[in-house]
Amino acid sequence: MSTNLEGNRAKLLISCPEKPGIISTVTNFLLEHKANIVHFDQHTTDPQAGIFFMRIEFDLEDFDSSFVQLESDLHVLARDYDLDWQLSSNKKKKRMAIFVSKMDHALMELILRWKSKEIPVEIPMVISNHADLKDVVESYGIPFYHIPMSKETKEDAEKKALELLKGKVDFIVLARYMQILSPNFISKYPNQIINIHHSFLPAFVGANPYVRAFNRGVKLIGATAHYVTNDLDEGPIIEQDVQRINHRYAAEDLKIAGRYVERRVLAEAVSWHVEDKVLVHGNKTIVFT
Amino acid sequence: MSTNLEGNRAKLLISCPEKPGIISTVTNFLLEHKANIVHFDQHTTDPQAGIFFMRIEFDLEDFDSSFVQLESDLHVLARDYDLDWQLSSNKKKKRMAIFVSKMDHALMELILRWKSKEIPVEIPMVISNHADLKDVVESYGIPFYHIPMSKETKEDAEKKALELLKGKVDFIVLARYMQILSPNFISKYPNQIINIHHSFLPAFVGANPYVRAFNRGVKLIGATAHYVTNDLDEGPIIEQDVQRINHRYAAEDLKIAGRYVERRVLAEAVSWHVEDKVLVHGNKTIVFT
Amino acid sequence: MSTNLEGNRAKLLISCPEKPGIISTVTNFLLEHKANIVHFDQHTTDPQAGIFFMRIEFDLEDFDSSFVQLESDLHVLARDYDLDWQLSSNKKKKRMAIFVSKMDHALMELILRWKSKEIPVEIPMVISNHADLKDVVESYGIPFYHIPMSKETKEDAEKKALELLKGKVDFIVLARYMQILSPNFISKYPNQIINIHHSFLPAFVGANPYVRAFNRGVKLIGATAHYVTNDLDEGPIIEQDVQRINHRYAAEDLKIAGRYVERRVLAEAVSWHVEDKVLVHGNKTIVFT
Amino acid sequence: MSTNLEGNRAKLLISCPEKPGIISTVTNFLLEHKANIVHFDQHTTDPQAGIFFMRIEFDLEDFDSSFVQLESDLHVLARDYDLDWQLSSNKKKKRMAIFVSKMDHALMELILRWKSKEIPVEIPMVISNHADLKDVVESYGIPFYHIPMSKETKEDAEKKALELLKGKVDFIVLARYMQILSPNFISKYPNQIINIHHSFLPAFVGANPYVRAFNRGVKLIGATAHYVTNDLDEGPIIEQDVQRINHRYAAEDLKIAGRYVERRVLAEAVSWHVEDKVLVHGNKTIVFT
């Protein structure tokens, strides 16, 4: 949580093999740059020989000049200490493209949270393989691109989408987008494509999870937001939640009930991604909520 | 839960002092009218001398004529057995007015669920003491009435609202409406006005519950949907839920986090009211979910 | 929920193919026998041509004689109307055998709820393939039988267990019992053996679910109570729940955290089974909570 | 979460007025002492002029000698930088006294988690104003002291309890102890007495919360674990949770249902206290889970 939407705040993510003194090194570095640490989160997979993850949120006075200096010095520090790092400024909002098909509930949840500024993000475009949602998207002043897609046209369609996205978008959200992206497409946005799957993965991997949940007689249905990888439904999980159901819910009722948990889970995951709270470690995530 | 949106389904609510044979009497009556019972719910506050509550959902063949006959015969049955009853048909959707001030999250949740048909309801009008939400409401084709309200103009404003509502509306939802309705207004819609209070009542009765929750250091924040009575925040509770927070949430963050649980709780309560699943008993409700 | 632990209450479960008038028939029958209905629950899988399920809780005056008469007359009614039925009296507690291996958390939860009378049940015996828990079980005055089991001795061991159970036990709970029962054994207690599986089935079917949950990076871990059938982990689910975890939980931590949700889920399922609230329909359950 | 129960781990809690460089200072200090940081948590109430809270879990090689040195040097550091601090070693378990009256559910939850080593704590004694639970407590090898208490004998009884506790106990848990401790008693264990209140505070402050919850018709009941202060039910909240109920729950049923959430909430709070995860800030807590 952070209510600071002003421009003097920055976030630094660091990961590296575990080594002694890494916290001291980085906090000393920030102190030298007159950064005032507001939030500090840390995780190590194994204190002996694991991977170290760190997220620091800090304020800078005289932001514009000091941020540039800090970023430039970070390159040196990172090289010396072999750090993976990512630095972002609250001054520059992340740009999110939404991919959608016909169902609008996940899309609308994102649009409402964007409009209310609950999620500080820009939405430069919505792309869909159907034209159905064109009007509602455009009514919010968001450009809508209809790119039809069939087995035959997939390669061309993805190419067209990539051209639209190029340089305009930082990450992509599949808000119930009923197409499978190609490895080529995914490779352009590694750990930058978020999907919402309408089951509590790994239960009901694949198609029609609600029908299968109904047939199995589960007592809770779920939803899973994850980064998209080439292994379908196997990417790093960002957030999951469930909702209680009972024998009165027909298969169709599960779909309706599920929408609500899908919306919540996706919105949380997007919010955390936007605030740089998610770090990927292999097929898992560390989320500093 | 009910996926039946077709016109051959009806719902019968009955309450009466507990007496032997009441279930037999009513189910025999329905059998004689060739009603096919789909859902049956029952509750008694005390099997010896309590109040008996019943909700029956049933299908009718040859609906139009048989519904009229059943309704007419119910008057006789109810008189003979001293029953309070309410009969409704899926053919006729309930009509809901939404009262709102400036915050739109609760309003939008209701509009989206109405649009997606998740809540089978009509929205003949939105009334607000501010003009801010006029455009967004009208973009959904819903009439919007701006009725400013101050201490001095309250009586006139309520009168104007009552005129707009008259004959056009079955129940009212206060979707974060920041005005207190007068006893006179409330008396026109007994147990037909639903309010969403942004706390887990009876904790933080009154104003500014999020600020007070922050100051008290609670670990969960909540929301409560209840019917409006003359005793502020004391009406029959329909639904409540909570959301986990932690020390990182500033008072302002609680407001944002709380919006989500407010939306969910209000939408559930409205949905149950629309489906005739809520019966009021004194200051409490029986909800047949 | 029912606080009535007195001896004048009975519970009747009925299932049959959906047919008109079944509720009237049964409630008239009960009225004739002067039964006072306290709770009535009903479900139909399809109002046109489904299966109808009903649970009625009722009080009888002059219990001893009227219960015998009602039971005897039910045989006739059931034959005439082709009903499956089960009648039980609060006077006669169900008898539960607990099977356990070395871990005691699920066992202790059941023992504590039995001792506090939260679950109105008798525990005539605990059977284990290890001797570890002998002392703690016997300290509660419950007979403990140690029946070692290996691949070679399984048939004999199960035979010995069946002899111990015979006539003394109504149902069996596998409270983290680390052996797979044979089809022969299971056939003696159809839908009368409850298992607790330490995952949110169908996720992580099979062995070591916590390790696999850790490796998959899920954000919630779960537990599932189900009736045991010959298809491992595929029996009708009675109850499920989940618990939130995060990246700080090592695989070992998941086991500890999981114990808590296992305990809760198993205790709920056993409680519902004891109160005749669970009806099995194919591979699913209807639970009238 | 921490699975490290070995003796080479220590935990350092620090609080102080917010000042630049405090993280650097402390982590440099630990680096000089060859501490290997495993978990680092931090919170500030206000980055400009608030209070700064920090919890560091770290391993030490050659533990026995280096821990002594580190502790001694910490006195100097704390004086120089005006730090409040607390250092603890996993080698030395905290000692918990349990105060109980007649109800045993909260007591048993703590005993079971102690026995299973889920909560790494010692229980040198249980003190009760009734003799009822003497046998069960002693069956676990825990000394039990019966100290009757009435209005007249309160002062003496508390004196006797304080003598028993003196030098043997680090903190006290009131596991449904139905007596109000005097300010004098509380002053001996500031922020070291944990109470479980059977409501979702501040709802239903005071006596009989379940009866009042029933009368108010709430849809969730809760429990609250908090540190005891002289203001009854107003101490810093450590943990809260809720459980869904419905109209079928009689007042007596709420008590039974509530036990479960009481047990969970109290066990969590005690576990966090034992692991030094709770810092008190005025009337609130920071919990680094």
Of D23, D38, D47, which is closest to A27 when you measure between CB atoms? D23
Does the distance separating the beta carbons of B247 and D237 come in below 8 Å?
no
For residue D288, pLDDT beyond 80: yes
Q: Which chain B residue has its CA at the smallest distance from A245's CA?
A: B1
d(CA D176, CA D104): 8
pLDDT for B6: 60
Same-domain pairing of A82 and A108? no
Residues of D marked as catalytic: 233
Model confidence band, residue C2 (pLDDT cutoffs 50, 70, 90): very low
Number of structural domains found in chain C: 2
Nearest to D228, CA basis, from D167, D276, D273: D273
Please tell me the distance in Å from B55's CA to the nearest CA on chain A: 15
Q: Which chain A residue has its CA at the smallest distance from B39's CA?
A: A248
Sequence-distant (6+) residues with CB within 8 A of D207 are: none
The structure tokens 């959707």 sit at B93
Q: What is the pLDDT of residues D103-144, one digit of tens each?
A: 999 999 999 999 999 999 999 999 999 999 999 999 999 999
Same-domain pairing of D98 and D229? yes
Domain that holds residue C23: 9-89
d(CA B237, CA A178): 40
The structure tokens 């309200």 sit at B149
For chain D, say whether C264 makes contact (Cβ under 8 Å): yes
Would you say residue D4 lies in a domain? no
The tokens for B63 are 């609906």
Would you say residue A212 lies in a domain? yes
Q: Which chain A residue has its CA at the smallest distance from D45's CA?
A: A38
Would you say residue B176 lies in a domain? yes
Question: Residue C282: CA atoms inside 13 Å, Cβ hemisphere, count?
Answer: 9
Phi, psi of D5 (to 5 degrees): -110, 10
For residue D3, pLDDT beyond 70: no
- The residue-averaged pLDDT of B215-234 equals 96
Contacts of B217 in chain D (CB under 8 A): 236-237, 283-285
Compute the mean pLDDT over every residue in chain A, rounded to the nearest whole number: 94
The structure tokens 């649970």 sit at C55
For residue A135, pLDDT beyond 50: yes
Of A31, A41, A47, which is closest to D24 when you measure between CB atoms? A31
For chain A, say whether C48 makes contact (Cβ under 8 Å): no
Of D24, D42, D47, which is closest to A24 when you measure between CB atoms? D24
Catalytic residue at A233? yes
Contacts of A289 in chain D (CB under 8 A): none
Same-domain pairing of A186 and A121? yes
ipTM for the whole complex: 0.92
CATH number at residue C61: 3.30.70.260
Contacts of D236 in chain B (CB under 8 A): 217
Residue percentage of chain C with pLDDT more than 90: 91
Would you say residue C83 lies in a domain? yes
Please tell me the distance in Å from C205's CA to the nearest CA on chain A: 9
Same-domain pairing of D82 and D191? no
Same-domain pairing of D217 and D77? no
- The residue-averaged pLDDT of D157-183 equals 97
Cβ atoms of C132 and C102 within 8 Å: the answer is yes
Same-domain pairing of B191 and B82? no
pLDDT for B2: 45
Of C216, C242, C283, which is closest to A220 when you measure between CB atoms? C242
For chain D, say whether A3 makes contact (Cβ under 8 Å): no
CATH number at residue A200: 3.40.50.170
For chain A, say whether D184 makes contact (Cβ under 8 Å): no
Does the distance separating the beta carbons of D250 and C118 come in below 8 Å?
no
Chains touching A by CB (3 or more pairs below 8 Å):
B, C, D
- The residue-averaged pLDDT of A101-120 equals 96
Model confidence band, residue C3 (pLDDT cutoffs 50, 70, 90): very low
Would you say residue C271 lies in a domain? yes
> What is the Cα A50 distance to its own chain's centre?
25
pLDDT for D6: 60
For residue C68, pLDDT beyond 50: yes
Would you say residue A2 lies in a domain? no
Model confidence band, residue D49 (pLDDT cutoffs 50, 70, 90): confident
Does the distance separating the beta carbons of B59 and C38 come in below 8 Å?
no
Q: Which chain B residue has its CA at the smallest distance from D213's CA?
A: B202
Same-domain pairing of C33 and C146? no
- The residue-averaged pLDDT of D213-229 equals 97
Domain boundary pick from B71, B89, B107: B89
For chain A, say whether D153 makes contact (Cβ under 8 Å): no
For residue A189, pLDDT beyond 80: yes
Cβ atoms of D243 and D257 within 8 Å: the answer is yes
Same-domain pairing of D270 and D128? yes
Segment (H or E) for B112: helix B105-115
d(CA C2, CA C5): 8
pLDDT for B42: 96
Of D20, D40, D59, which is closest to A31 when you measure between CB atoms? D20
Does the distance separating the beta carbons of B257 and A1 come in below 8 Å?
yes
Would you say residue D107 lies in a domain? yes
pLDDT for A3: 47
- The residue-averaged pLDDT of D261-276 equals 97
Q: What is the pLDDT of residues B158-216, one digit of tens each?
A: 999 999 999 999 999 999 999 999 999 999 999 999 999 999 999 999 999 999 999 99
Contacts of C3 in chain D (CB under 8 A): 250, 252-253
Does the distance separating the beta carbons of C139 and D1 come in below 8 Å?
no
Does the distance separating the beta carbons of D236 and B218 come in below 8 Å?
no
pLDDT for C61: 87
- The residue-averaged pLDDT of C1-11 equals 67
pLDDT for B20: 87
Would you say residue C4 lies in a domain? no
How many beta carbons lie within 10 A of that of residue C205, not counting itself?
Answer: 17
d(CA B242, CA B249): 15
Same-domain pairing of C59 and C102? no
Residues of B marked as catalytic: 233
- The residue-averaged pLDDT of B55-80 equals 93
Residue percentage of chain D with pLDDT more than 90: 91
Domain boundary pick from A41, A65, A89: A89
Q: Which residues 227-246 of A are in CB contact (within 8 Å) with C?
A: 236-242, 246
Sequence-distant (6+) residues with CB within 8 A of D19 are: D52, D81
d(CA A272, CA D76): 40
Domain boundary pick from D89, D108, D141: D89
d(CA B245, CA B214): 10
Q: What is the pLDDT of residues A191-232, one digit of tens each?
A: 999 999 999 999 999 999 999 999 999 999 999 999 999 998
For residue D207, pLDDT beyond 50: yes
How many beta carbons lie within 10 A of that of residue D152, not counting itself?
Answer: 8
Strands (E), D35-176: 35-44, 51-60, 84-89, 94-100, 121-128, 144-146, 171-174
Contacts of B41 in chain C (CB under 8 A): 41
For residue B67, pLDDT beyond 50: yes
Compute the mean pLDDT over every residue in chain C, rounded to the nearest whole number: 94
Nearest to D256, CA basis, from C267, B152, B281: C267
For chain C, say whether A201 makes contact (Cβ under 8 Å): yes
Given the residues C233, C241, C253, C276, select the one marked as catalytic: C233
Does the distance separating the beta carbons of C242 and A217 come in below 8 Å?
no
Same-domain pairing of C154 and C228? yes
Same-domain pairing of D124 and D214? yes
Same-domain pairing of D101 and D187? yes
Does the distance separating the beta carbons of D249 and C1 come in below 8 Å?
yes
3-class secondary structure, B85: strand
- Find the distance separating the first CA and the last CA of chain B, reported in whole Å: 7
Model confidence band, residue A6 (pLDDT cutoffs 50, 70, 90): low
Nearest to A286, CA basis, from D36, C222, D56, C219: C219
